[in-house]
Structure 1
C-alpha cells in the first residue's frame, strides 16, 4: 500500500517530465499499462521503451496532477497533459489513471480518457 508521501513523490517525478524514469522507479517488473479498452502493455521494460518512443516524438510535455486519491492499494490520479509534437502540433487531454499498487510500486495501471476530446492545434 503506497503512503501519501510515496504517491506525492511519484506525481512530482511525472510532473518534472521524467515519465520514463517514473516507470523505472515506481513500477514492478511485471507491471501492466492499459489505454482505455486497448490490450495492456506488459512488463516494465516494455513500458519504459514505449514511453521513451512517445517522448521522442515530442518537443515538450507538460503534466499536471489535478487531484489524487489513495484508498489502500488503489490510487486514482486526475491528470492534465499538454503534448507538443516536434511538428508543432499541440495536443491537450484530460485523463484519469487508475492504479493498483503492490507495496510501494505500481503493478497495474489503466488510463481513462475520451480520445475524441484529445484536442490538437498548431
Structure 2
C-alpha cells in the first residue's frame, strides 16, 4: 500500500471512531509527535497515553471532516475540521493540519499545526 492509501485508511478509522485502534495499527514504536512548536513527545507509549487522554476528554464529536490530503515521497498531510464538545461543556471548532513521515507502512513522525 502507498503512504497515501495508509493515510486514507487511518483517516477513515478516525472518522469511524476507531482513534486508538488506528494509532495501534499505523504508528511506529519510536514515533515522535509534536503539537505546533511544543516539545515533541517521543515513543509510542508516551503518545498512546496522550491520545487516550484526548479521547477521554471528549464528550461528543459533532462532526469531523478531512478537507484535503497530499503525498510527497515519505511525507503525507491531512487537513482536518472538527466540531467537538469536551467534557465540561466546552464546544470547539478545530482546524488542523497533520503532517506525517512514513517508514515501512508506519508513521515515524507526526506534527500537528493548529491554532492554540
Regarding TM over 0.5, the answer is: yes
Whole-Å separation in 1 of the counterparts to 2:78 and 2:14? 12
Displacement of 1:72? 1.2
Q: Report if aligned partners of 1:2, 1:73 keep a CA contact under 8 Å in 2.
A: no
**Other structure's SS at 1:91 match:** strand
Q: Any stretches of 5+ residues in structure 2 without a counterpart?
A: none
The match for 2:32 is: 32
The CA RMSD over aligned residues, in Å, is 1.5
1:76-87 correspondence to structure 2 within 5 Å: 76-87=77-88
Mapped contact 2:31–2:42 kept (Cα < 8 A): yes
Alpha-carbon displacement from aligned partner over 1:10-52 (angstroms, at most 9, x marks no partner): 1101111222221111000000110000011111121111111
Q: How does 1:6-85 map to 2 (within 5 A)?
A: 6-61=6-61, 62-85=63-86
> Which residue in 2 is equivalent to 1:4?
4
Q: Which residue of 1 aligns with 2:90?
A: 89
CA–CA separation in structure 2 for the residues paired with 1:98 and 1:41: 15
8 Å CA contact 1:82–1:90 kept in 2: the answer is: yes
TM-score by length of 1: 0.86
Q: Which runs of 4 or more aligned residues in structure 1 lie more than 3 Å from their structure 2 counterparts after TM superposition?
A: 1-4
User: TM-score, length-normalised on structure 2?
Assistant: 0.90
Instruction: Tell me the matched-pair count.
Output: 115
